[in-house]
A and B are shown apart, each in its own frame.
Chain A
Amino acid sequence: MSDDLDDLKSAFGAATPAPDAARRAENLALAQKNFEALQGSRDTARPTPVTAPNGLWTGFKNMLTSMTSRGALTATTALVACGFLLLTDTGQGLWQEGDFATDFGADLTAQVNNEVGSSSAAETTRPPELQPQVTFAPPASAEPSGSVDDFALNQNGFTEDLFFGDVRQQDRSWVSAGDLEADSLDQVLRGDPSFDDSAVTARRQSTPAPAAPRVAQSEEPPSVAEALSDDSQFYWEGNLSTGESQATGNGLEAGAYFEITVDEPVVMLEAIPSAAPQTPNTEAFANEAPASLKITQETPVSTFSIDVDTASYSVMRSSITRGILPQPDQVRIEELINYFPYDYPAPDAGEAPFRPTVSTMQTPWNADTQLVHIAIQGQMPSIDDRPPLNLVFLIDTSGSMNQPNKLPLLKQSFRLMLGQLRPEDQVAIVAYAGSAGQVLAPTPASDQASIINALNGLAAGGGTNGQGGLQQAYAIADQMAEEGEVSRVILATDGDFNVGINNPEALKDFIADKRDTGTYLSVLGFGRGNLDDATMQALAQNGNGQAAYIDTLTEAQKVLVDQLTGALFPIAGDVKIQVEWNPAEVAEYRLIGYETRALAREDFNNDKVDAGELGAGHSVTAIYEVTPVGSPAQLSDPLRYAPAQVAESTGEMGFLKLRYKDPGATDSQLLTTPIVPSQGASSDATFAVAIAGFGQLLRDDRFLREWGYAELIALANANRGDDPFGYRTEAVQLMRLAQSLAGDHTPSEISR
């Protein structure tokens, strides 16, 4: 028996042609196109009558459903219909013929003594193609009724009720003519048990059966009987009774029949794709391996450059708020710490532009080690007499910027910043995509309208010729520069340079050349997905600049409004820090963070070597974890053959040296201070330590022992301080989120 089927199968195997390749490609493309088209949010489906529009009827229906004042329309329509039926021969012919009129007449006779005869009639079945039925009773009496004497009874009387029911339910809407008084008709209808209000309401709610989204071809088949469900069909009646003074007690009913047909089951509408299409993630992050423990005997000197960037914090925040723990490489602990404003002691007038403060404290995560907290607070020069600014906005308008959190956020951010500028400041805008172009010639900041117009005119598209843009921006900045003014290029990008120089190393050289012209560079990162943090770092670190990552308008406000002065006015250049540890006091030490900022020992005194800039009012924090000599926490064993030769203890743990240049100067100046144990630390310093712990939890927690998120949150909460802008509160929230995201695992385990 199954031979037959096998025969059939082999016959089909032989007969089935290969699909046409061209058609195949075409069909696949069509599918893909429809797929893309569906990814946006869909309009709510609305019930649509699928039956072919039926001229007059459709118009009538539309009039009743879509125009305002349904009651009035119904009434006037009814009135006209009454007039037609009563006053024209044709109309009278219509109702005087047929069973209904006869029956009605008979009933009416019986009811003649009633003051009002009212009728309502409905066919028990009403095929969709029927024109609206307007039936009414003949004049009941020549005498106006006492209770119903004007044209319309009143709004209640000529009920504006819309009865929703399906076809099978219709019979009960038959109301025998003349049985009722017009006033009570409405109540009777309502009183009908199968027709109570709740049923009406329920049906109303359930009726708008969504039609399936119409993505298939336009020649979709018309309604399909099998697809009709109860809910997809409803009956609408505008039931009204009305009368005229000379035709008292006429009831008339207008019925409308709607059929809503759903092409296919509605299930698919429930799913609204929430995930955006996946685009390849091309993010690159700059980081070095986490700093390892140093043995004081072997490498007593630690040298690094300050870092006032904050990008890593915002990137971390954007990751965590999206529900993902940041990759360890995305976390640069010093940028997390330096994100927050601290209230460290500021230098007095006439001193160096910044003041270092050193404090030591117990390590929260290790009872046997100490933390050395080095705080550098820059002075806040009086803002009133600041020099005029020349700003060149260098804006990436490449195709990759075409996302809500990139170009649009950038425009908003710059608009915020404009409010901070003074009339004597100048702004120019250079946009770059495949090619670079000046969008706005240098314009005084007082002309906000022109600047905002130019910003609004920017649209994204094309490749990213970052190098061309930088060249042009620097050229314009040179033109704008005058004696005593500060020039700065503000580069806003997602960092995805794909035209011209796109190698961070080559860009470094290019920027290093430009830095000598005295123009500063700020890099603002936007968006995720192809954020090239490595390039941004390379630019900012080598362009005498600062990198910030702007993920929200709030962050834009922090960077471009609240801390704008610091971001735009450098008070010290090439600030380097060198610490020499005393082997007599400190057995081992470890710098937390600053891996990308490490300098060679000899670079400290070499003024050619670039380092970080300190802006007005900036504070920089560096934290060392040190193991005192003789502490049980010491991780390295003493050497057997080269025993330590320890100098006499002086009580100093180490010696801190700072080098900096005044803005524009070429020779550095030196600041020194010994590091001595202090009693306790301010809560500001402790909060910085908490953030350092957070960074280590996210990046590499091998030195943290049992210390985890719970301890971290307690420590951060206890030291939040004033927190007027809520930054620290937000940090605690992020810690709590990270704790949940990390679950029972430590983040480093998850990420490996």
Chain B
Amino acid sequence: VTDQDLALAAAGGDGQAFASLLDRHYDRLFAFCFRVTGRREEAEDLTQDICAALPAKLAGFRGDAKVTTWLYRVAMNAAHDRRRRQATYVKASDGWGDWETNRTAVNAETAAQLDWLTQAMTQLTPDLRDTLALVLDDMTHADAAQVLGVSEGTISWRISEAKKALKALKEKEDVA
């Protein structure tokens, strides 16, 4: 059964189909939420938001977009809502700072990588982070553009901006 079939059946009221569709995508959704929020608890909560809102959104699923694209759009909107609810995105980006304290369990090697990741992600604007969160999940620029509701060119531009920022960061590291 394809995602498409499941989603359409679920949109028609098939609870079984809905359950298996969500089960199929939960982990991927969670990983995405993590990339967007940068904190585990935040990601859990965001995933919960998405799960809660998904049934209502599903009723509007027509099958004209790919299921994953549609799902990410729902997830992205939920992430934006959540961010807004947290008054300012400054607080959201603080998450990347807090993260520092939460990573004690991971080993030293990844720790270094995490430091870099934290640093890198903190440097990016929310737009760039959202875009990266999608593209890093092997989404094409076209799909990411559909999710974010911008043109494909904007995505490509953002990616190159992100790369520039990362490169600058790397150079700074190398110098240091």
Q: Report which of B43, B85, B113 forms a contact with A11, defined as CB distance below 8 A.
A: B113
Query: Looking at the complex, which one of B22, B60, B159 makes contact with A271 (CB distance below 8 Å)?
Result: B60
Q: With A5-B163, A15-B113 in contact, do A273 and B56 touch (Cβ < 8 Å)?
A: no
A35 touches B55 (CB 8 A): yes
> CB-CB < 8 A to B142: which residues of A?
none
Chain A residues, Cβ within 8 Å of B48: 23, 26-27, 30
- Closest Cβ–Cβ distance, residue A200 to chain B (whole Å): 31
Q: Which of A23, A215, A267 contacts B52 (CB 8 A)?
A: A215
- Chain B residues with CB under 8 Å of A37's CB are 55
Task: Tell me whether B136 and A273 are in contact (CB under 8 A).
Answer: no
Q: Let me know if B153 is at the binding interface, CB within 8 A.
A: no
Residues of A255-274 contacting chain B, CB below 8 A: 264, 267-274
- Residues of chain B within 8 A of A28, CB atoms compared: 19, 22-23, 26, 51
Q: Verify if A275 is at the interface (C-beta below 8 Å from B).
A: yes
Q: Are B81 and A267 in contact (CB under 8 A)?
A: no
Say what secondary structure dominates the interface of chain A.
helix
Residues of chain A within 8 A of B27, CB atoms compared: 18-19
Docked Cα-Cα span, A263 to B23, in Å, equals: 27
Q: Which residues of A contact B58 (CB under 8 A)?
A: 35
Q: Which residues of B contact A1 (CB under 8 A)?
A: 163, 167
Q: Are A23 and B163 in contact (CB under 8 A)?
A: no
Q: Is the CB of A27 within 8 A of B51?
A: yes
Alpha-carbon separation in the docked complex, A395 to B170 (Å): 78
Do B15 and A34 touch (CB < 8 A)?
A: no
What residues of chain B lie closer than 8 Å to A38, measured between beta carbons?
Answer: 55-56, 59
**A9 at interface by CB-CB < 8 Å:** yes
What residues of chain A lie closer than 8 Å to B135, measured between beta carbons? 5
* Cβ of B22 to closest chain A Cβ, rounded Å: 5
B55 & A19 in contact (Cβ 8 Å cutoff)? no
CA distance A206 to B40 in the complex (A): 44
The reply to whether the CB of A213 lies closer than 8 angstroms to some CB of chain B is yes
Q: Write the chain B residue with the least CB distance to A214.
A: B56
Tell whether, in the assembled complex, residue B14 and residue A277 are in contact, meaning their CB atoms are under 8 Å apart.
yes
Q: How far is the CB of A583 from chain B (nearest CB, A)?
A: 58
Once A16-B31, A216-B49, A275-B13 are accepted as A-B contacts, the answer to whether A5 and B136 lie under 8 Å apart by CB is yes
Contacts of B40 in A (CB 8 A): 17
B18 near A16 with CB under 8 A, answer: no
Answer whether A30 and B52 are a contact pair too, CB < 8 Å, given A268-B60, A271-B11, A275-B12.
Answer: yes
Residues on A with C-beta less than 8 A from B56 are 34, 38, 212-213, 215-216, 268
- Residues facing A in B5-50 (CB within 8 A) are 10-16, 18-19, 22-23, 26-27, 30-31, 34-35, 40, 43-44, 47-49
Contact (Cβ within 8 A) B30 A19: yes
Question: Does the CB pair B117–A12 fall under 8 Å?
Answer: yes
Per-residue CB contact flags for chain B residues 132-163 toward chain A (1 = under 8 Å, else 0) read: 10011000000000000000000000010011
Q: Which of A120-128, A217-225, A407-415, A502-510 contacts B (4 or more CB under 8 A)?
A: A217-225
- Least distance between A201 CB and chain B CB atoms (Å): 29
Q: How far is the CA of A274 from the CA of B15 in the complex (A)?
A: 13
Q: Do B60 and A19 have beta carbons less than 8 Å apart?
A: no
* Separation of A2 and B166 alpha carbons in the complex (Å): 10
Give the complex CA separation of A644 and B31 in angstroms: 83
Q: Cβ of B11 and Cβ of A31 under 8 Å apart?
A: no
**Are A271 and B59 neighbours in the complex by a CB distance under 8 Å?**
yes
Which of A483-503 touch B at CB < 8 Å? none
Expressed in whole angstroms, the Cα–Cα distance for A635 and B13 within the complex equals: 52
- Considering only CB atoms, which chain A residue lies closest to B78 in the complex? A216
Interface membership of A39, Cβ < 8 A: yes
Per-residue CB proximity of A572-588 to B under 8 Å, as 1/0? 00000000000000000
Q: How far is the CA of A273 from the CA of B7 in the complex (A)?
A: 13
Give complex CA distance A23, B27 in Å.
12
Cross-chain contact B60 with A12 (CB below 8 angstroms)? no
Bound Cα distance from A8 to B137, whole angstroms: 11
Q: A268 vs B166: C-alpha distance in the bound complex, in angstroms?
A: 39
Bound together, the chains give a CA A11 to CA B110 distance in angstroms of: 8
Interface centre among A31, A32, A215 (most CB of B within 10 A): A31
Q: Which residue of B lies closest to A226 (CB)?
A: B80
Measured in the bound complex, the distance between the Cα atoms of B34 and A38 in whole Å is: 28
A residues less than 8 Å from B62 (CB atoms): 271
Contact, CB under 8 Å: A14 / B166: no
Known A-B contacts A16-B34, A19-B44, A38-B59; A216 and B19 likewise in contact (beta carbons under 8 Å): no
With contacts A8-B120, A23-B44, A221-B85 known, is A15 near B57, CB below 8 A? Answer: no
Asked if A97 CB lies within 8 Å of chain B CBs, one says no
- Residues from chain A with a CB closer than 8 A to the CB of B89 are none
A36 sits at the interface (CB 8 A):
yes
Chain A residue with the shortest CB-CB distance to B160: A1
Neighbouring B residues of A273 by C-beta, 8 Å: 11-13, 59
Taking the complex as formed, is A646 at the interface, i.e. its CB lies under 8 A from any CB of chain B?
Answer: no
Bound-state Cα–Cα, A526 to B99, Å: 61
B116 pairs with A11, CB closer than 8 A: yes
Bound Cα distance from A32 to B20, whole angstroms = 10
Most interface-central of B27, B53, B103 (chain A CB within 10 A)? B53
Instruction: Tell whether A20 is near chain B: CB-to-CB under 8 Å.
Output: yes
Q: Does A4 contact B (CB under 8 A)?
A: yes
Residue of B with least CB distance to A1: B163
The one of A20, A216, A220 in contact with B44, judged by C-beta atoms closer than 8 angstroms, is: A20
Chain A CB within 10 A, most for which of B51, B84, B103: B51
Q: Does A24 contact B (CB under 8 A)?
A: yes
Q: Hey, which bits of chain B sit against chain A, CB under 8 A?
A: 10-16, 18-19, 22-23, 26-27, 30-31, 34-35, 40, 43-44, 47-49, 51-62, 77, 81, 84-85, 103, 106, 110, 113-114, 116-117, 120, 132, 135-136, 159, 162-163, 166-167, 170
Known: A7-B166, A34-B51. 11 other contacts (CB 8 A): A1-B163, A2-B163, A8-B136, A17-B40, A19-B44, A19-B47, A39-B15, A268-B56, A269-B59, A271-B61, A275-B12
21 A-B pairs (CB sep. < 8 Å)? A7-B166, A8-B166, A12-B31, A14-B113, A19-B30, A19-B43, A23-B44, A26-B48, A27-B47, A28-B19, A31-B18, A31-B52, A32-B19, A32-B22, A35-B15, A216-B49, A268-B59, A271-B59, A275-B12, A275-B14, A277-B14
